[in-house]
């Protein structure tokens, strides 16, 4: 069952950039990020309340000052991630965006080395190099380097890259919180803080350039409740039954699913650079996951994103 839970979560992740493409425009990307966080937070809060009632949990210990600080940093990280990722996907292809955002895995590994003093091996460093090479290939896509900054997708790719860096900050601080708190106990306040942050940015622009259709409202609802809230629950269920390295291995299917879906549903072209970049990213993540041994960097950091 663990594999089924994880694959279902990965499938939900894979359609996130496709849904964003359908609702931006008319929705403003900042409002999409905020509403996605609000819907995801509400969905998870209801489920967590139901689960707590069923388990008849006693009162949890009060939050310490350090934990509250980590919550704020994690919330800012996931808020920044959703804002930048949504704005970036609106300016690049779904396939390229979901590959470039894998920079989050490299950044998280570096944070693990610098902050958590985790061990590093030649295999892990090789995986990081492969993953970064793949991200570079996708961003480059065979264009003249002198014209790269003028590419129609350059700004979008850069925003997605920044979103991946923000996600790594969120994942690092959530992992630090897991030393004293459960994942279910932290995700709702973290996402709520992210929603407030995204809302503070969204108010500077109109919600939509024109009136959205009923179908686009449905896409937005699916993006927040299912691709964000439900995917997190599925991933946690999967993590309870699988080692984190196995989870990471299955998660590498995410960009492959997105590339396939975007090609057939959105008509996006599969270039040789995109395919080669995807292969390098997948190979790099597999090496960084440790090929069957548990990776402490990845455990417990699922946000129901894309990541996302």
114-136: pLDDT as tens digits:
888 877 788 888 888 998 898 88
| Predicted pLDDT at 106 | 84
Alpha helices for 15-55 (secondary structure H): 16-23, 29-55
Rg (alpha carbons) of the chain, rounded to whole number = 18
3-state helix vs strand vs coil in the chain, percent to 5: 75, 0, 25
pLDDT in tens, 236-277: 777 667 666 666 677 778 888 999 999 999 999 888 889 999
Cβ atoms of residues 168 and 74 within 8 Å = no
| Predicted pLDDT at 146 | 59
Residue 142 φ/ψ, nearest 5 degrees: 80, 10
Check residues 33 and 307 and name the one with the higher pLDDT.
33
What percent of the chain stands above pLDDT 70?
A: 85
Is the pLDDT at 299 greater than 70, yes or no?
A: no
Please, what is the average pLDDT of the chain?
85
Query: What mean pLDDT is predicted for residues 28-48?
Result: 94
| Predicted pLDDT at 119 | 78
């Amino acid at each position: 069952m663990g594999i089924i839970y994880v694959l279902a979560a990965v499938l939900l992740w894979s359609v996130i950039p496709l849904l964003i493409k359908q609702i931006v425009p008319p929705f403003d990307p900042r409002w999409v990020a905020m509403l996605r966080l609000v819907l995801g937070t509400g969905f998870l809060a209801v489920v967590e309340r139901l689960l707590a009632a069923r388990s008849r949990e006693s009162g949890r210990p009060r939050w310490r000052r350090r934990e509250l600080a980590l919550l704020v940093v994690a919330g800012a990280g996931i808020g920044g991630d959703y804002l930048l990722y949504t704005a970036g996907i609106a300016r690049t292809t779904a396939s390229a965006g979901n590959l470039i955002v894998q920079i989050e895995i490299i950044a998280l590994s570096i944070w693990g080395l610098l902050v958590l003093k985790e061990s590093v091996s030649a295999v892990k460093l090789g995986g990081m190099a492969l993953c970064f090479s793949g991200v570079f290939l996708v961003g480059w896509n065979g264009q003249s380097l002198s014209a790269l900054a003028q590419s129609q997708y350059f700004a979008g790719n850069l925003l997605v890259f920044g979103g991946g860096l923000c996600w790594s900050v969120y994942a690092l601080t959530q992992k630090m919180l897991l030393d004293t708190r459960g994942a279910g106990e932290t995700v709702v306040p973290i996402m709520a803080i992210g929603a407030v942050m995204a809302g503070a940015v969204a108010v500077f622009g109109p919600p939509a350039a024109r009136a959205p259709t009923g179908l686009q409202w449905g896409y937005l609802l699916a993006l927040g409740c299912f691709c964000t809230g439900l995917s997190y629950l599925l991933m946690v269920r999967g993590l309870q039954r699988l080692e984190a390295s196995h989870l990471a291995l299955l998660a590498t299917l995410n960009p492959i699913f997105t590339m396939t879906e975007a090609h057939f549903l959105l008509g996006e072209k599969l270039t040789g650079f995109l395919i080669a970049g995807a292969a390098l990213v997948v190979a790099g993540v597999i090496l960084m996951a440790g090929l069957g041994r548990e990776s402490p960097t990845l455990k417990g950091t699922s946000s129901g994103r894309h990541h996302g």
